């Protein structure tokens, strides 16, 4: 396995982005671009569970660590993507410690969790590496809990304290929507929530993460102590580049001919 979890535990800043097109080709392109990690999105992305394996295969020969955002904390959803070879799980809309514990338990084999045992899966090289995978899974699999609700803000310390929760990841869009200030990322309510999340994570020796939309915001969030940073997605990279090229061609076509 790649060593993303160990880098985060050591306090290193790791940069990533979203994959939401469900395409192994864009996954491979992004994986080779220089990101430390990528998030394959099953919550809002265009791809489904059947597209996960191909994306993980495409990312395997790149230096980028693949994490999968599942739609819910249902244990069978977590089991399946881990068996396919995901090296971390992100779960959205976690409200309290009980829900966070369900996610953490679903990621790990007994006695530390409830993950079902299957040897002949891609994550274990179809049985060849099961012993090593079983031994090292707790040290390598990254548990990321998204803080996106007002209820979660009332349970930050309990969530952060759980074994198996490695990162409290801020979801700015959903959190500002819940706070009644949608999209106002400089609003005092949002910044107060960010500070509280970072503090709870730091007190538990865990990390904080965030997704933002403008790379110019990098230093602002990094200075707040956030170390798992995401900006952009394969869909936005394609869309932005396509619009830019179309505009350039349109501009060139509109230049009067001499």
Q: Is 44 a catalytic residue?
A: yes
Question: Computed from CA positions of residues 24, 30, 36, 38, in that sequence, does the dihedral angle turn out positive or negative?
Answer: negative
Distance CA 248, CA 225 (A): 39
Question: Computed from CA positions of residues 80, 81, 84, 85, in that sequence, does the dihedral angle turn out positive or negative?
Answer: negative
Q: What's the DSSP call for residue 214? A: -
- Catalytic one of 44, 61, 112, 222: 44
Distance CA 200, CA 206 (A): 8
The strand ranges marked E within 9-132 are 14-19, 37-41, 65-69, 88-91
Question: Computed from CA positions of residues 159, 52, 30, 36, in that sequence, does the dihedral angle turn out positive or negative?
Answer: positive
Distance CA 258, CA 245 (A): 23
Which residue reads 């394609």 in tokens? 238
Which residue reads 């031994």 in tokens? 135
Question: SS3 for 118?
Answer: coil
Which residue reads 């220089």 in tokens? 34
- Cβ contacts of 167 within 8 Å, gap of 6 or more: 8, 142, 143, 144, 145, 201, 206, 207, 208, 209, 228
- Please give the positions annotated as active site: 44
């Amino acid at each position: 396995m790649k060593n993303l979890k160990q880098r985060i535990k050591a306090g290193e800043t790791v940069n990533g982005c979203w994959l939401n097109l469900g395409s192994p080709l864009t996954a491979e392109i992004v994986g080779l671009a220089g990101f430390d990690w990528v998030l394959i999105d099953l919550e809002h992305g265009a791809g489904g569970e059947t597209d996960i394996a191909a994306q993980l295969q495409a990312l395997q020969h790149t230096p980028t660590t693949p994490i999968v955002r599942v739609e819910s904390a249902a244990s069978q959803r977590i089991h399946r993507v881990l068996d396919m070879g995901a090296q971390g799980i992100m779960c959205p809309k976690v409200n309290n410690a009980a829900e966070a514990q369900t996610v953490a338990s679903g990621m790990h084999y007994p006695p530390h969790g409830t993950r079902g045992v299957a040897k002949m899966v891609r994550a274990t090289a179809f049985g060849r590496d099961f012993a090593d995978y079983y031994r090292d899974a707790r040290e390598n699999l990254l548990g990321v809990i998204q803080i996106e609700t007002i209820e979660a803000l009332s349970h930050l310390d309990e969530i952060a304290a759980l074994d198996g929760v490695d990162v409290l990841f801020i979801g700015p869009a959903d959190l500002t929507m819940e706070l009644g200030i949608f999209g106002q990322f400089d609003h005092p309510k949002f910044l107060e929530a960010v500070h509280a999340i970072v503090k709870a994570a730091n007190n538990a020796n865990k990390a904080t993460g965030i997704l933002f939309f403008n790379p110019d915001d990098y230093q602002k969030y990094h200075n707040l102590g956030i170390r798992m940073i995401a900006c952009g997605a394969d869909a936005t990279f394609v869309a932005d580049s396509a619009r830019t090229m179309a505009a350039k061609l349109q501009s060139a076509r509109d230049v009067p001919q001499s």
